[in-house]
Structure 1
Amino acid sequence: MEGVLVSAATGVMNSVLAKLTAFLGEEYKHAKGVRDDLVFLRSELSTMNIVLQKLADVDQLDELSRDWRDRVRDLAYDIEDCIDLSVHRLRGSAGESGLAAKVARMAKKIGAFRQIASQIQKLKARVVEVSERRNRYTLHGLVPTSSDASSSTKVDVRLCALWTETKHLVGIDGPRDDIISRLMEQKQESLSSVQHGVRMVSIVGCAGLGKTTLAKQVYDKIKGEFECKAFVSVSQKPNIKELILNISNQVGNKSTNMSDDVANLVDNLREYLKQKRYIVVVDDIWNPEPWNFIGEALVKTSPGSIIILTTRVKEVAMSSSSSHGGFVYPMKHLDGAHSKRLFYKRIFDCEEQCPPEFEQASKEILERCDGIPLAIISISSFLADRQSLYHWNEVKKIISSPIPGNKDLETMQSVLALSYYNLPHDLRSCLLYLSSFPEDCEIRKYRLVSRWIAEGFINARPGENLYEAGLRYFNVLINQSLIQPWNEHYGEVLSCRVHDVILNFIVSKSVEENFMTLLDPSGPVPLQHSNCCKVRRMSLQGSYCQEKFASSMKSIKPHVRSLACSMDCTGLHPLSEFKVARVLDLEGCESLTNNHLANIEKLAYLRYLSISGTGVSVLPANIGCLQHLETLDIIGTQVKELPPSIVLLQQLVRLFANFEVMFPAEGVSKMQALEQLTGLLPFNQPVSFLKELGELTKLRVLSVSWMPHHVRDSDEAHAEHEKSYEKIFISSLNALDRHSLQYLSLYSDIAAKRFFDSWFPSLKNLRRLSIKNMFKRGTIPSWIRLVAKLEQLKLENVYVRQDDFEMLGDLKALESLALPCSDTQGSWLTISNHGFRCLKFAFLCNVLFMPDSMPNLKDLRIDIVLDEVGENDSVFQHLPNTLCRVHAWISGNLDAVSKLKEKILNIANTHPNRPSLTTATYIQEH
């Protein structure tokens, strides 16, 4: 019942219908009057749900239809809240045994029934009123649009790189090289005039033209030449103090005092950057005020430094550049040739032509996109899986209709609306939910997916758990170009961002649907969305008046089901007043303390709780009362020990903790729903806990730090102590391996081969394995060749020999291999043509490709240390034709590095798949 789908289209209607059915079968089967009312509610709501489904696929609704829809959805929320609170009251009547206690429970239950019956009568009256409203008037516009669910379940690696590989697709290499050339010309001029002057460029253009992409290309190309570097996003309503702190942290200023005011922070940063070469990108400035502070902090006389600024406002670009003697670089719309290349590459995987029958339709579609890269990317992603002339002509009609107002903005709105209404209803909810995150926020994948699940948005397929389904949803939104993959780690997308234009669309849609209420820092606190709709989900993202906010929240709290707060906010307390909350995401609220979590056990239906990055040091003793809690995130807190009641959380699926946290000695085996556990230091745990760990039959993901304590006893005692813990832990790993364990992440300060070999019986069924040697180089365990199901492997800081490499190539299921910081002991490694047949991502050091090697490789990161292995004419020969991206890091003397860089560029330009290429170099001076 808890897994019933919730969506922006129908609210919680499906969940309500399921709960009404369950209620009829349990609590009220002997209460005839109440039962009749419940039957009536279920019947009426079932019919309403059908109409809601149809309304959800209509782009433009008349006011009457919209009002009826809003009332019905809001009614469904109220009915579900009534049912949930009623169930909680009835179950809460259980307690002590004995005659007196039994009589008291009966009296309490009778009172609860009467109260519930009264509430249901009122809800029934509202349903009748809403039904009669519909019967009195005619609803217009009920013309549903078909939507095709995407069948893609894995991220298209071309799109993972699209925001960076655009240099090949839309001609961004020309502007990038032009800007770099002009900046370097400024450098030469400064040598003869103002010695050590800063160089600056302001990139200006409308939304969606790729200003950030261009700035990032310039930044990535030359950042290796600078001692200090930073890339910050400003957004429309910036926090100046956080901006200065962000720059200070990125450039490595360790003396920053977070308690300082803005003026002191500016002075501190100026002093730090004096006589240092820096490069700083200030992305997306909307008005001059932020630059007045940032510009003061970035010293104009820093030797040979560079500032890159992006903005949509011409006046901001001109004033900021003039203040630092820079130049303005206007972004241009793509010309016809580059528009075609980008469009055709995405759809047909060919840059030059399309099938003749599509030429006219594509021409008209591209004319409407007006050379805006984001519009072209969005529409081509939509059309990629719809290659029929009928679909193309329908799209052409929709986006070619006259739209008044700002042409660029309206183009994007029409394209995005088309993509939005062709998403399945559950994916629409997931997309709209991104409006709860601030502008320019980096959204971690596990955080987003966990919240989607808690909200009830995810619909799993047979044989698929909810988290896996959530990852599939995440990948679909990336493939549809509706979210940008941001932080990638060894081939896996770990976080995303939302383009400003798309975010604006999402926010407007969320407000229209009463899906998410955003607190406007400069406006009043919203008491409700309209006369008929209460605030159900709220996101607090700015500053506000504490007193005014606290008083206004009184009427909002009882109905809020989801609260996301990305700022310090004392006006939220007490949290126990959010009595129907499913989600509390308080990550980063530094002022949150232990006292603020008091009485949190009253939130009977809380499913997601994040206090990550807060000042909390002790979890409430009775946290085990949160019987519906599915996700608990305490990473970045001061919590050192979990309370004994934590083992009562029998619905807890995901627990994210710091490695130093100690678990209760007994009872962890009761947590049978647990699937993900990150932050386990075995040597910090009771022996009894380690024994029970193996009884968690659903545990799929485990992150372990194997750091033995350095005891003061003799070496022999130390060895015996370590050996006993290792034996118990390996026994539990064996049990987990037989159950569900698929992913093990291990951080270790031990590199001995014996240590790894002893673990093999516990790891043979893994699909993902990550081992990081913290302080010593290790060897590759020989038993890895026997882990037949292994799909992803990361071995950091290891010695790699040719035999080891061939052994890894025999892993038939391996799709991702990362060997960062590895040592090939001064030798080139050869990739033969018989191994790594399924590999898609590789991070390797000092390797040579043979013909037909790694035939499915799409993403390559390669480190080459020329001083160790010497030059070789075969470097970068025989690269797989499937490559989409190459990142090369080259170390050596200047001549050898320059020669190899030129060779890589030539190969990339003549490669049949034209992969994106980024290079970084380190010049060894002799």
Structure 2
Amino acid sequence: MAAYASLLSLGHILDQLLQHPPRQRAVLDEAQIHSLLQNIGFLQQFLEEFSLTRGDEIQALEEEIVISAYAAEDIIESRVVDQILEDSEAGSERSCSTLFCQDLQKVIEEFSSMKKDVMKIEKTEGIEIVRQQTKAATAGYFVRVASNSKNAMVGFDKDLVNIMDTLTGDESNLQILSIVGMGGIGKTTLAKNVFDNPLIKQHFDLHAWVTISQQYSVSEILLGLLKEIRGEEITQKNDDELGLRLHRSLFDRRYFIVMDDMWSIDVWDGIKGFFPDNDNGSRVLVTTIMLLIIFSRVPLINYICDEDQCWALFCDKVFGQESCCPPELEEVGKTIVRNCRGLPLAIVAISGLLAKFSRTVEYWEHVANDTHEALNKGGDGLCFEILSLSYKHLPVHLKPCFLYMAIFPEDHKIKISKLIKLWVAEGILKPMSSRSLEEIAKDNLKDLIERNLIQVHDYGSRNKIKTCTIHDLLRDLCLREAQKEKFLRVAMMDGLDNHSKIIDNNRRLIIQRNSDEEVFQQQVFDARNFASCTRSLICWELEFTSIKLPVCFRLLRVLNVDGVCYDEEILQVVNLRYIYFVAPSNPILSNTLESLSLLWNLQTIIIAGPLLGSVTPTNLPAEIWEMPQLRHLKMEQGHFYLPDPPSTNSKNGRRDILVMKNLQTLCTIRNFRLTDEVVHRMPNLKKLGITYRQFTSGFGDYYEVYNLVHLRNLESLLLNSYKNVLRNLCFPQSLKKLTLKICRVPWEDLTVVGSLPHLEVLNLIGDAVRGREWNPVEGEFLELKSLRISYTNLVEWTADSSHFPRLEKLILEYLEFLKEIPEGIGEIPTLRSILLSYCSDSANSSAEKIQEEQLKLGNYDLQVRIVDT
């Protein structure tokens, strides 16, 4: 896997060099580039065809590939960095260039030699047989199997009924229940099905789910519960204050809390005092691998499924809606299931593997033999051995993406948007003609989900996957394989000195905090002793730590610091492709961004700050327009000032304009001058955030806001006109998500928005729309799935199911004058949830009435939630 990933990475570097201006491209002869690309392509194809075999000869070849690919990267990137920083003196330029060419030619010769070795290997009879098997196994690679549900559960029907009976029983005192068992038996799946059951949703006033990792923090647990219950972000960290806030939120309410994956009695001791006993039937459900004597009832222990349950689970996952196994595969299929010894996680993983490949007896027998070998040596680690087979049988192009999941902390809710950006920046995606790298990444993610190696955690407003998770055992598998192949290394803050030797040989270094937060807060991260080969530095939960980048990190490509960077020279690391950090203050950030133009290969820059001082706009350098690789530019708190494009020179009577074809995200720009030239320069922009303030001339004329309609690939737009009345709206037909803030648009003008053919999400926030009455027009908002209205003076709202025929989610916030939600809204067949936060009593009553009416009609899917405390 490391060999294939190294070839992909080197190929990306060479492709990017070919796309750059002559200054960067001149570091090596184009004939050398094409020679390397040809050899890389040949070796990639070889590894793709023989991904299921790891004989000694092929394993030795893979090790050679890694060494040569890394050497080529070091030579090329060092040369580019030297040229950009102008480290070489004019007098020594020729000798340095000669030495560089000699070193690179040596690597090219090594690749040519490996190509010859591969051609010899391919002629052997044994390898030809392996090729036949691999092609047969992957023949059905593009088969898609749809599961019966997002969170299918087979074999726990009785347990589900028992738990629900206990949860809704007559005992009025607070009950603490538990699901106990070994990793992989399906504890979380069972708890999730209980939590999502409509009857449970109806029975309890408040519901919250929190996942607890081994490296837990009481404050993070409390913050997670408060976010679930109150629906808002809370930043304070004091445990006692958070606990008191939780206690008040739960007091006098019938609540249901799930605490998933509890590892220690200390967790319970730290939070149990914040759960009030309201004597009204409140319940807490805990899943754990340990028999913790803290509960008021005997725990449910369910170590394995019986044979019939296992077979039903297997068929459900492999065949989906077909749910039946072909007769010729039934015997070998049941052998595979028996080898999994009743462990649902192992069955699910193997099922995901078989669902993707061709259904032949030969291949299934091959998998059965592998599971039998795992059974013989598995012992207590049987489930882990079975899971390893899922990794072994992955197509080679998916292996780097899967192992990359090890960078995230245990039980981390992984943002899909972040994961995709990291995959792209790491260069571990196989390019395909006519498809963007982001599209390829989404396909790979979908494939891993369908193989049951990654779990969907949450969907966004457009029903796209927003976050995902990975089971602890699968993460352990990723970590073991990734560190064995030196693909990455995970180290804790308090053990960095002990890791110094093994860090030397790893391209990716992941730093996590230790569990002792008091000690951790006093540490300062100094990486000066780390290896120069490091290409990715990813630091999690370092909000109390300052990061200093030493000279040895000069070739760093990915920098993700989940904390503060005080180093003003962070962007002097000119090889960076991806940057995520918290800026301490605007002045330092402004000084830092002056170096932005030196980053010849920058793809993504996300700034989660500034931490200190006022959030004033930050000036971007004019050179931003000369960065062809830029894909995403975003400040999570605050705004950028984007300068006008520099004047262009004419050559042979034609304008020489660099079009930023890769640019997809631009958020948030203050007073954006969307001129015709700007529109021309960013034709593939998909996500845009704009804030207009401090106007010096007529709104819309000076800022050309109406040119938005010419951004023909734009899908998501946030527009904040800051109390300036926005009229004559005009948006591109491609728009799928629109957020308007403080625009003061008259309700009747929303017909322009309603006529957008692909609009799925509409957020009207903070005086976005003005007026007391809204009468939407039939035939508009035909694709709208999510509608959010906040802080408006809306009083009368007239609508029925024909006005929003596909609406799934309705969110109303701070609507103190709204009389009621139109009764016809409840009749929309797709509607799944209504959330009201701090609205009028009459609006709250109308929501409750809608739910009552739908329950009478047998609609248990509609969930109504009211927050008014």
* TM-score after normalising by structure 2: 0.77
The 2-side partners of 1:360 and 1:902 are apart by: 47
Q: How far off its partner does 1:109 sit?
A: 0.6
Aligned-partner residue type, residue 500 of structure 2: L
Give secondary structure in 2 for the equivalent of 1:231. Answer: strand
Q: Aligned match of 2:541 in 567, 580, 590?
A: 567
Counterpart position of 1:100: none
Counterpart position of 1:109: 93
Q: Does 1:843 align with 2:811?
A: no
Give secondary structure in 2 for the equivalent of 1:633. Answer: strand
Counterpart position of 1:201: 177
Give secondary structure in 1 for the equivalent of 2:435. Answer: coil
The 1-side partners of 2:509 and 2:433 are apart by: 33
The 2-side partners of 1:642 and 1:636 are apart by: 15
**Aligned counterparts, 1:594-743, within 5 A:** 594=566, 596=567, 598-612=568-582, 618-619=589-590, 620=592, 621-638=594-611, 640-644=617-621, 647=624, 648-658=626-636, 660-667=638-645, 672-673=660-661, 675-680=663-668, 684-685=670-671, 687=673, 693-705=678-690, 709=693, 721=697, 723-725=698-700, 728-737=703-712, 740-743=713-716
The 2-side partners of 1:265 and 1:574 are apart by: 36
The 1-side partners of 2:469 and 2:754 are apart by: 38
Contact 1:540 1:567 in 2 (8 A): no
Give secondary structure in 1 for the equivalent of 2:644. Answer: coil
- Distance verdict in 2 for CA 1:505–1:303, change over 3 Å: same
Deviations 1:851-895 (A, max 9, x none): xxxxxxxxxxxxxx99866699x968xx7xxx9x96688976989
The 1-side partners of 2:578 and 2:18 are apart by: 26
Contact 2:3 2:62 in 1 (8 A): no
Counterpart position of 1:817: 785
Contact 1:17 1:46 in 2 (8 A): no
Q: How far off its partner does 1:896 sit?
A: 8.1
Aligned-partner residue type, residue 577 of structure 2: R
Q: Does 1:424 align with 2:405?
A: no
**Aligned counterparts, 1:281-360, within 5 A:** 281-298=258-275, 304-314=281-291, 316=292, 319-321=293-295, 325-350=296-321, 353-360=324-331
Counterpart position of 2:560: 585
Q: Aligned match of 2:213 in 235, 244, 265?
A: 235
The 1-side partners of 2:639 and 2:776 are apart by: 40
- Distance verdict in 2 for CA 1:845–1:824, change over 3 Å: farther
The 2-side partners of 1:387 and 1:44 are apart by: 31
Give secondary structure in 2 for the equivalent of 1:504. Answer: helix
Q: How far off its partner does 1:329 sit?
A: 2.1
Q: Does 1:744 align with 2:704?
A: no
Counterpart position of 1:477: 448
Contact 1:6 1:15 in 2 (8 A): no
Counterpart position of 2:435: 464
Q: Which structure 2 segments of 5+ residues have no match?
A: 647-656, 812-817, 836-843
Q: Does 1:504 align with 2:476?
A: yes
The 2-side partners of 1:866 and 1:351 are apart by: 49
Q: Does 1:170 align with 2:154?
A: yes
Give secondary structure in 2 for the equivalent of 1:509. Answer: helix
Aligned-partner residue type, residue 556 of structure 1: F
Deviations 1:520-564 (A, max 9, x none): 46755423449xx71210111222988999899444331100111
**Which region of structure 1 is more displaced relative to structure 2, 264-273 or 356-365?**
264-273
The 2-side partners of 1:436 and 1:245 are apart by: 23
**Aligned counterparts, 1:177-576, within 5 A:** 177-185=161-169, 187-188=171-172, 190=173, 198-221=174-197, 222=200, 230-247=208-225, 258=236, 260=238, 264=240, 268=244, 272=248, 275=251, 277=253, 278-298=255-275, 304-314=281-291, 316=292, 319-321=293-295, 325-350=296-321, 353-386=324-357, 388-390=359-361, 391-401=363-373, 403-404=375-376, 406=378, 409-414=381-386, 416-490=387-461, 491-520=463-492, 523=495, 525-529=498-502, 534-543=505-514, 553-568=527-542, 570=545, 572-576=547-551
Q: Does 1:901 align with 2:869?
A: no
Contact 1:206 1:312 in 2 (8 A): yes
Q: How far off its partner does 1:485 sit?
A: 1.5
Counterpart position of 1:148: 138
Give secondary structure in 1 for the equivalent of 2:500. Answer: coil
The 2-side partners of 1:492 and 1:20 are apart by: 34
- Distance verdict in 2 for CA 1:454–1:177, change over 3 Å: same
Q: How far off its partner does 1:483 sit?
A: 1.2
Give secondary structure in 2 for the equivalent of 1:320. Answer: coil
The 2-side partners of 1:768 and 1:900 are apart by: 29
- Distance verdict in 2 for CA 1:301–1:220, change over 3 Å: same
Counterpart position of 1:859: none
Q: How far off its partner does 1:842 sit?
A: 4.4
Contact 1:149 1:423 in 2 (8 A): no
Contact 1:256 1:265 in 2 (8 A): no
Contact 1:802 1:829 in 2 (8 A): no
Counterpart position of 2:814: none
The 2-side partners of 1:92 and 1:265 are apart by: 51
Aligned-partner residue type, residue 206 of structure 1: M
Contact 2:645 2:678 in 1 (8 A): no
The 1-side partners of 2:10 and 2:73 are apart by: 8
- Distance verdict in 2 for CA 1:140–1:308, change over 3 Å: farther
The 1-side partners of 2:321 and 2:346 are apart by: 19
The 1-side partners of 2:310 and 2:436 are apart by: 41
Q: Which structure 1 segments of 5+ residues have no match?
A: 95-103, 191-197, 712-717, 847-864, 909-916
Contact 1:369 1:376 in 2 (8 A): yes
Q: How far off its partner does 1:583 sit?
A: 0.4
**Which region of structure 1 is more displaced relative to structure 2, 360-369 or 301-310?**
301-310
- Distance verdict in 2 for CA 1:778–1:497, change over 3 Å: farther
Q: Aligned match of 2:80 in 84, 87, 98?
A: 87
- Distance verdict in 2 for CA 1:227–1:670, change over 3 Å: farther
Deviations 1:713-736 (A, max 9, x none): xxxxx9x95x52367333432443
Deviations 1:363-418 (A, max 9, x none): 3333334443333333333333445333434333332445235567424532x334
Aligned-partner residue type, residue 283 of structure 1: D
Contact 1:518 1:538 in 2 (8 A): yes
Tell me how many residue pairs correspond in the alignment.
807
Deviations 1:741-781 (A, max 9, x none): 344344678898xx56x233x423x1524245679884574
**Which region of structure 1 is more displaced relative to structure 2, 270-279 or 124-133?**
124-133
- Percent of aligned pairs with the same residue? 19
Give secondary structure in 2 for the equivalent of 1:481. Answer: coil
